[in-house]
Amino acid sequence: MIRGAKGLYHLLEAIVANIWFGFPGRSLTVIGVTGTDGKTTTTTLIYEILKAAGKNVSMITSVAAVIAGKSYDTGFHVTNPRAWWLQKYLREVVDHGDTHMVLEVTSHGLSQYRVWGIPFAVGVLTNVTHEHLDWHGTMESYTKTKLSLLKQSKTAIASKIKLPGKKVIAYDKLRFQFQTRLLGEFNRQNCLAAIAAARELGVDDAVIQKAIADYAGVPGRLETVVTKPFGVIVDFAHTPNAIEQVLRTVRPFTKNRLIHVFGSAALRDHSKRPFMGTASARYADIIILTEEDYRTEDVDEIINQIASGMPKEKKVHKIPDRKKAIEFALSIARPGDLVILTGKGHEKSLARGNKEYPWSDQEAVKEFFKH
């Protein structure tokens, strides 16, 4: 279904791009990975496994891209390039002699036809949780958009999903022995999804096991920045489910207090904010609410919406300036505490008003410890 004039424009752009660049996706084995959480890790895992198997492979994720042998640090607020650029990259990949392409695919990318014309050999769905309802309207619509990737893929890999007339591999039921350096049950599920995709593509089990064991993780995903005198972790979690999963994972490793610094991006799904607050309050001892790309919204209002999901007795510090919020968290932390900063992860900028300002949670932490 085409969403108005803009939808028609995006579709026409995709058609023209495919024709102009000669439908390069048809010359590749393309693997698409979608889902609310876990897309980047799963996409990168599949890429690393295929590379370990000796395949000539490229990838595009929200964190990094490897296109025709060249590596790029993306660090932007979008994942799927527009159709014209995506087809251009695919043409470069084909001309480079690559045989495989792994794409992180967003619901916006699907609904705006950015991946139109690409024949997916394998489609992976990690999960569908509360996110992007500002764009899709309902969970039903959001889920339907995510499922569209599986429907247009030769083989679908998902958990607890059935599609009439489609071969669906349930990765959560996969029996496969492996070891990983990645923490958390959610990362174990990401590994299983990547393993299922790799096996479907004919990769040897021993190669898969070694690649999974060697993989150290994506920057900004449960990334340890400091270990002494207390721990500091940066993570991209920006949905209720992701915050729940990440905090639940680090809680057992926290000897004393868990200090959580986070916010919520503006001009996005407002309805998730109280649920983000609820998830944080369930695990964190000290909560510091701050900015996260407030754009043209009132940052104080965003913070209050997050706080509305927390028990009234929960002590919450509200510090709109992210640098000051992080400095406060680090100044009150003691040995045995763990400080976790969520929402920005790998990103290299903060959106304030209509401008992007250079920013890195990791650098803010390192700067604090220099003084």
The list of the chain residues with pLDDT below 70 reads 1-6, 74-79, 130-137
Check whether residue 188 and residue 227 sit in a common domain. no
Q: Give yes or no: residues 45 and 141 share one domain.
A: yes
Number of other CB atoms surrounding residue 11 within 10 Å:
16
3-state secondary structure of 286: strand
* Measured distance between the N- and C-terminal CA atoms of the chain, rounded to whole angstroms: 56
**Cα(350)–Cα(352) distance, rounded to whole angstroms?**
6
Dihedral sign from CA coordinates of 243, 292, 235, 104: positive
Query: Could you identify the residue written with the tokens 């916006």?
Result: 108
Same domain, 198 and 266: no
**Which domain covers residue 12, as residue numbers?**
4-214
Q: Which residues, in sequence order, are CB contacts of 333 under 8 Å at separation 6+?
A: 230, 232, 257, 259, 339
Residues 143, 243, single domain; the answer is: no
β 223-226/231-235 pair status: antiparallel
Surface-to-core class of residue 47, CB atoms within 10 Å of its CB (0-12 exposed, 13-18 middle, 19+ buried): buried
User: Are both 178 and 325 inside the same structural domain?
Assistant: no
Helix (H) or strand (E) holding 341: strand 338-342
Strand order in the sheet with 231-235: 223-226, 231-235, 338-342, 258-262, 286-289, 316-318
Cα-based torsion angle of the residue sequence 146, 30, 104, 209 in order, rounded to the nearest 10 degrees: 110
Domain shared by 179 and 283, yes or no: no
Number of domains forming the structure of the chain = 2
SS3 labels along 210-245: HHHHHCCCCCCCCEEEECCCCEEEEECCCCHHHHHH
- pTM attached to this predicted model: 0.85
Element (H, E) at 349: strand 349-352
Residues 286 and 149 grouped into a single domain = no
Whether residue 158 contacts residue 33, with contact meaning beta carbons closer than 8 Å, is answered with no
Same domain, 155 and 47: yes
CA–CA separation, 61 and 40 (whole Å): 6
CATH of residue 55: 3.40.1190.10
CATH of the domain at 334: 3.90.190.20
pLDDT the model gives residue 135: 52
Helix 185-200 vs helix 240-250: angle between axes, to the nearest 10 degrees?
110
Q: Both 146 and 236 in a single domain? A: no
CA distance 154 to 31: 10
pLDDT at 1: 47
Domain boundary among the residues 194, 214, 234 is at 214
Whether residues 11 and 127 share a domain: the answer is yes
Co-location of 180 and 40 in the same domain: yes
How many angstroms from the chain centroid is the CA of residue 139? Answer: 18
Q: Count the neighbouring beta carbons within 10 Å of the beta carbon of residue 233.
A: 23
Cα(305)–Cα(291) distance, integer angstroms: 12
**Do 47 and 168 sit in the same domain of this protein?**
yes
Torsions phi, psi for 189 (to 5 deg): -65, -40
Give tens-digit pLDDT for 256-269.
999 999 999 998 88
